[in-house]
């Protein structure tokens, strides 16, 4: 059943082994059979990777698949196809579905759907609290037994300090991390974008940076007190990142992620590129796009290795969720299919370091959620391990056209923008699951 695939002439970059060399990769029987120069692969399907980088398939700790409950926005089938095209071969599904995965049976049903429809490996994240209600801790041991790799209430930050403390103590006893959207909902109440120059200009209610900073501070204190692994979801502020760096220096079991959107865009995207305000609802995300100073700090933090993972926060929405007044629009960006393009465009600009980007797409997230045992082979290219491989051309330019997205979510503020860097082929569990026709000579 499995193909033999020979990926020829590419630059293999594997953070786990420190490999960065022109090598061939032979895939057979679902696993990486050999990595080396001038491999012969008689009868194997050849993937010409000349000019391309051959990487372990990307790992995403934060994605919204919308199923069950919001199939008009996306399904496991459509959104994992989008992940595949974006080079992501292992993704963690956030629990803001209906029903939310707060019991073993819901997780089991979710895993059945995943087994049936998913195009890439999907790992469920269980709820921190029952129904993501923020007041009663979910039955975490049952969720862990069912296969959840972490706990999170996603966009509902656990505001109640004692509930969070209890949840972290219980999660810690199960050896699983808590991934927390750090936001003080009282401080950010009603806010639809970053509070500051642009919100004051547009007359929109803002979310102050203090809402994120104070929540990060509280959660770092709980991390220190409980010893439980805390994963800070999508950090967006320079100050928040400083606190993460400080906590890491002190040796706390803390990791964090950043989204490609917050690395690439600022609050100005809401205003739009023209003279007249655009009120671009596609640039409305939570946490919001921040200032240029924050964006630069995030880039520096990624390059310095303070940020463990790049996570997409892929959030597909239906057209009507975004084609409305800014206040009424849903939060989120459909990100899978542009993530690598924006990251490599920034590598091209000298803002991001290629090795830092690839580390944060592979070994970084695997370590943050300790996925090595639960998702064998994820984030690494090693002979004998499961073959999840992404081949991309770092120099290929293309123009974002949301109508060509595999995702149901066409909600991207990048529509029409030229990016440099594109996925060419993706191997999932040894199968050539996606291959773009070779366009260049």
Partner 1 sequence: MLDVREESRPVALESAPEEARWRWKDLLDTDVLDPADIQLVMDTAEAMSEVRSRPMSKVATLRGTTVVTLFYEQSTRTRASFEVAAKALGADVVNLTASGSSVEKGESLIDTVRTLEAIGADLVVMRHGKSGAPYLAARHSKAGIINGGDGTHAHPTQALLDLFTMRRHLGDLAGRKVLIVGDILHSRVARSNIWTLVSAGAEVTLCGPATLLPTSLAGRSERGSVKVTTNLDQAIAGADVVMALRIQKERAERGLIPSLREYIRGYQVNARRLALAAPGALVMHPGPMNEGIEISPEIAHGVGSVIEEQVSNGVAVRMAILYLMATARTA
Tell me the CA distances in angstroms from 230 to 164, 166, 176, 286, 301, one per residue in order. Answer: 11, 13, 9, 20, 18
8 Å CB contact between 269 and 289: yes
Nearer to partner 1, 26 or 204 (CB): 204
Task: Give me the least distance between CB of 328 and partner 1, in Å please.
Answer: 7
Nearer to partner 1, 272 or 348 (CB): 272
Task: Give me the least distance between CB of 285 and partner 1, in Å please.
Answer: 17
Q: Are strands 193-194 and 309-310 parallel, antiparallel or unpaired?
A: unpaired
Task: Give me the least distance between CB of 198 and partner 1, in Å please.
Answer: 9
8 Å CB contact between 23 and 328: no
Number of residues that bind partner 1 (CB under 8 A): 20
Token look-up 């060419």 returns: 424
Among 7-15, 38-46, 177-185, 324-332, the segment contacting partner 1 (CB under 8 A): 324-332
Position among 151, 264, 326, 331 found at the interface with partner 1 (CB under 8 A):
326
Nearer to partner 1, 304 or 319 (CB): 319
**Spatial distance between the Cα atoms of 170 and 364, rounded to a whole number of angstroms:** 24
Q: Is 323 in the site for partner 1 (CB under 8 A)?
A: yes
Q: Are strands 230-232 and 254-258 parallel, antiparallel or unpaired?
A: parallel
Nearer to partner 1, 325 or 437 (CB): 325
Site string for partner 1, 293-322 (x = CB under 8 A): ---------------------------x--
Among 92-100, 269-277, 337-345, 414-422, the segment contacting partner 1 (CB under 8 A): 269-277
Nearer to partner 1, 278 or 382 (CB): 278
Q: Is 279 in the site for partner 1 (CB under 8 A)?
A: yes
Token look-up 């979310």 returns: 207
Among 57-65, 116-124, 326-334, 343-351, the segment contacting partner 1 (CB under 8 A): 326-334
Q: Is 327 in the site for partner 1 (CB under 8 A)?
A: yes
Among 134-142, 325-333, 407-415, 431-439, the segment contacting partner 1 (CB under 8 A): 325-333
8 Å CB contact between 431 and 45: no
Task: Give me the least distance between CB of 292 and partner 1, in Å please.
Answer: 14
Q: Is 325 in the site for partner 1 (CB under 8 A)?
A: yes
Task: Give me the least distance between CB of 322 and partner 1, in Å please.
Answer: 11
Q: 276: exposed, middle or buried (C-beta count within 10 Å: 0-12, 13-18, 19+)?
A: exposed
Stretch 196-215 residues interacting with partner 1 (CB under 8 A): 196-197, 200-205
Q: Are strands 31-36 and 19-28 parallel, antiparallel or unpaired?
A: antiparallel
Q: Is 278 in the site for partner 1 (CB under 8 A)?
A: yes
**Spatial distance between the Cα atoms of 135 and 202, rounded to a whole number of angstroms:** 35
Tell me the CA distances in angstroms from 339 to 414, 422, 423, one per residue in order. Answer: 11, 10, 10
**Spatial distance between the Cα atoms of 341 and 419, rounded to a whole number of angstroms:** 5
Task: Give me the least distance between CB of 202 and partner 1, in Å please.
Answer: 6
Task: Give me the least distance between CB of 324 and partner 1, in Å please.
Answer: 6
Residues taking part in catalysis: 313
Task: Give me the least distance between CB of 199 and partner 1, in Å please.
Answer: 8
Q: Which residues of 340-351 are buried (b: 16+ CB within 10 A; e: fewer)?
A: bbbbbbbbbeeb
Q: What is the DSSP string of 260-325?
A: HHHHH--THHHH-SSSS----GGG--SSPP--HHHHHHHHHHHHTT-S-EE---B----HHHHSS-
Position among 328, 395, 399, 401 found at the interface with partner 1 (CB under 8 A):
328
8 Å CB contact between 129 and 155: no
Q: Is 276 in the site for partner 1 (CB under 8 A)?
A: yes
Nearer to partner 1, 196 or 253 (CB): 196
Position among 21, 145, 293, 324 found at the interface with partner 1 (CB under 8 A):
324
Nearer to partner 1, 100 or 402 (CB): 402
Nearer to partner 1, 150 or 192 (CB): 192
Q: Is 275 in the site for partner 1 (CB under 8 A)?
A: yes
| Three-state DSSP string of 43-72 | CCEEEECCCCEEEECEEEEEECCCCCCCCC
**Spatial distance between the Cα atoms of 185 and 207, rounded to a whole number of angstroms:** 9
Task: Give me the least distance between CB of 287 and partner 1, in Å please.
Answer: 19
Nearer to partner 1, 72 or 133 (CB): 72
Stretch 142-201 residues interacting with partner 1 (CB under 8 A): 196-197, 200-201
8 Å CB contact between 244 and 294: no
Q: Kindly list the residues in this chain that would bind partner 1 in the complex (CB under 8 A).
A: 196-197, 200-205, 275-279, 320, 323-328
């Amino acid at each position: 059943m499995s193909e033999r695939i020979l990926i020829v002439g590419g630059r293999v970059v594997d953070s786990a082994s420190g490999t960065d060399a022109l090598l061939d990769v032979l895939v057979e029987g679902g696993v990486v059979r050999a990595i080396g120069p001038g491999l012969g692969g008689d009868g194997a399907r050849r993937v010409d990777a000349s000019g391309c980088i051959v990487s372990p398939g990307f790992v995403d700790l934060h994605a919204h698949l919308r199923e069950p409950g919001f199939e008009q926005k996306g399904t496991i089938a459509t959104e994992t196809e989008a992940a595949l095209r974006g080079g992501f071969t292992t993704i963690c599904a956030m629990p803001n579905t209906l029903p939310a995965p707060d019991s073993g049976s819901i997780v089991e049903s979710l895993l059945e759907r995943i087994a049936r429809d998913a195009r890439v490996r999907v790992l469920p994240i269980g709820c921190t609290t029952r129904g993501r209600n923020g007041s009663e801790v979910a039955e975490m041991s049952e969720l862990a037994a069912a296969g959840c790799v972490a706990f999170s209430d996603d966009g509902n930050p656990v505001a109640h300090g004692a509930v969070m403390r209890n949840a972290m103590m219980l999660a810690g006893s199960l050896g699983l991390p808590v991934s927390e959207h750090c936001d003080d909902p009282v401080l950010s109440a009603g806010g639809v974008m970053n509070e500051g120059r642009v919100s004051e200009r547009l007359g929109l209610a803002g979310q102050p940076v203090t809402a994120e900073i104070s929540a990060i501070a509280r959660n770092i204190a709980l991390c220190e007190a409980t010893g439980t692994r805390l994963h800070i979801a999508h950090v967006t502020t320079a100050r928040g990142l400083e606190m993460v760096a400080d906590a890491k220096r002190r040796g706390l079991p803390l990791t964090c992620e950043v989204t490609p959107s917050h690395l690439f865009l600022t609050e100005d995207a809401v205003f739009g590129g023209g003279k007249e305000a655009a009120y671009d609802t596609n640039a409305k995300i939570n946490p919001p796009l921040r200032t240029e100073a924050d964006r630069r700090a995030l880039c520096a933090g990624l390059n310095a290795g303070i940020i463990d993972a790049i996570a997409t926060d892929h959030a597909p929405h239906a057209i009507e969720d975004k084609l409305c007044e800014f206040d009424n629009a849903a939060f989120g960006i459909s990100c899978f299919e542009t993530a690598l393009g924006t990251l490599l465009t920034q590598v091209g600009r000298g803002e991001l370091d290629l090795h830092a980007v690839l580390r944060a797409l592979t070994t970084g997230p695997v370590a943050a959620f300790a996925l090595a045992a639960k998702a064998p082979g994820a984030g690494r290219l090693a002979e004998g391990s499961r073959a999840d491989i992404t081949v991309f051309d770092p120099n290929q330019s293309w123009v974002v056209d949301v109508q060509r997205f595999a995702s149901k979510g066409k909600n991207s503020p990048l529509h029409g923008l030229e990016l440099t860097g594109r996925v060419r082929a993706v191997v999932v569990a040894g199968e050539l699951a996606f291959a773009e026709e070779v366009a260049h000579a």
